Structure 1
Amino acid sequence: MDLRNVKGLLFDKDGTLFDFAATWEPWAEAFLLRVCDGEREMAARVGADIGFDLATRRFAPDSIAIAGTPQQVVDALAPHFPERPPSDLLELINAEAARAPQREAVPLRPFLQGLRDRGLRLGVATNDAEHPARAHLLAAGVVDMFDFIAGFDSGHGGKPSPGQLHAFATHVGLPASSIAMVGDSIHDLAAARVAGMGRIAVLTGPATAEDLAPHADLVLPDIGHLPGRLI
């Protein structure tokens, strides 16, 4: 991919700006134990249905929680909790998500400042809900670095649909061809392809280089390698 014409970068959040495992494995354990009232056997059964092994605290590669939206996780959980309205489950998921620990993939403030100093417009497009996404970025001290932040519930849909990507391009007034989507999943890269944007994959999520390379213009170990590729 020729990065000389890139004027905007749209980042996924989990697995891209933040290390996926360090954030979401503790979240999954805390959420499952809370929703199951501390009953570990039930929590293990429920976790299996969203692709999370409570005993090992690891997600399966095809877990709905990796690339899906919180609403999709609710849909998978709902049969276990027929007495709970789905809206209550979604509220609980978002509440635990907002408290989830965040480990920055690289020191984010200087990284993002360096991109802004180059004149790049920056955005976040995540399949998380917007409120916890903003909470995570605020806790990291970088929410002000972005021109645009969208979650699956911000009115543009979720990835792999391109709605968030189109909304970012419109918001910053750039053609899609001058924007690159940076993400750690095939969903991110598929959305970028449909939107007509560049596709940059990073390896700070569950997917491997072999998973991502066929769908990406460029595969990097993490976002910290991105500035060196910008001309």
Structure 2
Amino acid sequence: MSATASTRRVDGILFDKDGTLFDFHATWSVWAHSVILDLAEGDAPLMQRIADAADYDLALRRFRPTSPIIAGTNREAAECLARAVLRRTVDEIETYLMQSAALAPLAPAVPLAPFLEGLALTGLRLGVMTNDTEHGARAHLGAAGVAGHFHFIAGFDSGHGAKPSPAPLLAFAHAMALDPARIAMVGDSTHDLMAGRAAGMQTIGVLTGPAQEADLAPLADVVFPDIGHIPGWLGA
């Protein structure tokens, strides 16, 4: 039996994008290696300096959990890389990252279209708030064929701020005319869950990003292996 508005836990779900809707390492660790190679123009010592600045393991081709890029904004990532790529400005790197990220290979955490269609059938309002750019978010959701399932899509540059501030989450609540307490914020990082708690929302952690359960559990009402477990939690 589908959950009704009177029995389900929430009226809206706000998703992070990277590490939540899309598996982080399968998408962004793969993309990052090509970015480092491109920015270094084949210079091996420079590749290592860029990788060190990004806290990226070149041998394993994976971000380390301590990388400042994981939960940062596109601008913060550009500032980080600019410390190693001295011949390019932060603005140049930021534009490059935005353009290249829009073409990143996507690895959905679960088959997204049927997952989102199932949630929509219950009448839930759905949104995405990412510390990526709004351009990148719309490009990725469009490439995955699911942009139309979301009532709200925002990036750090959409005018609402960036996580861990609760402001962009509250912008979703306001746009949907929902009580924040009846919204679940879903994310793979402490930034996501800190923002959710500060906004007065329910919080769901997922393990499709670099963070471990021990990192997320103190900030989450529940932690799942991936977003595919949410319908069961809702009773849908």
The one of 207, 213, 217 aligned to 1:203: 207
Q: Which residues in structure 2 correspond to 1:94-113 (within 5 Å)?
A: 94-113=98-117
How far 1:130 moved relative to its partner? 0.9
CA deviation vs aligned residue, 1:121-141 (integer Å, no higher than 9, x gap): 000010111111111100100
How far 1:199 moved relative to its partner? 0.5
The CA distance in 1 between the partners of 2:209 and 2:232, in whole Å, is: 21
Residues 30 and 96 in structure 1, CA contact (< 8 A), matched pair in contact too: no
Structure 1, gaps ≥5 residues long = none
Residues 44 and 55 in structure 1, CA contact (< 8 A), matched pair in contact too: no
TM-score when normalising by structure 2 = 0.94
The one of 119, 131, 153 aligned to 2:123: 119
| Alignment pair present for 1:73 and 2:70 | no
What SS does the corresponding residue of 1:65 show, helix, strand or coil? coil
Residue 190 of structure 1 corresponds to: 194
Mean alpha-carbon deviation: is it higher for 81-90 or for 124-133? 81-90
Residues 192 and 199 in structure 1, CA contact (< 8 A), matched pair in contact too: yes
Q: Which residues in structure 2 correspond to 1:79-98 (within 5 Å)?
A: 79-98=83-102
| Alignment pair present for 1:11 and 2:42 | no
| Alignment pair present for 1:60 and 2:64 | yes
Q: Percent identity?
A: 55
What SS does the corresponding residue of 2:8 show, helix, strand or coil? helix
The CA distance in 2 between the partners of 1:199 and 1:105, in whole Å, is: 18
What SS does the corresponding residue of 1:110 show, helix, strand or coil? helix
Q: Which amino acid aligns with 1:176?
A: P
Q: Which amino acid aligns with 2:78?
A: V
The one of 25, 28, 32 aligned to 1:24: 28
Residues 9 and 234 in structure 2, CA contact (< 8 A), matched pair in contact too: no
Residue 38 of structure 1 corresponds to: 42
The CA distance in 2 between the partners of 1:218 and 1:83, in whole Å, is: 45
Give the root-mean-square deviation of aligned CA atoms.
1.2
The CA distance in 2 between the partners of 1:109 and 1:40, in whole Å, is: 41
The CA distance in 2 between the partners of 1:96 and 1:40, in whole Å, is: 21
What SS does the corresponding residue of 1:180 show, helix, strand or coil? strand
Q: Which amino acid aligns with 1:151?
A: G
TM-score when normalising by structure 1 = 0.96
The number of residue pairs the alignment matches comes to: 229
| Alignment pair present for 1:146 and 2:188 | no
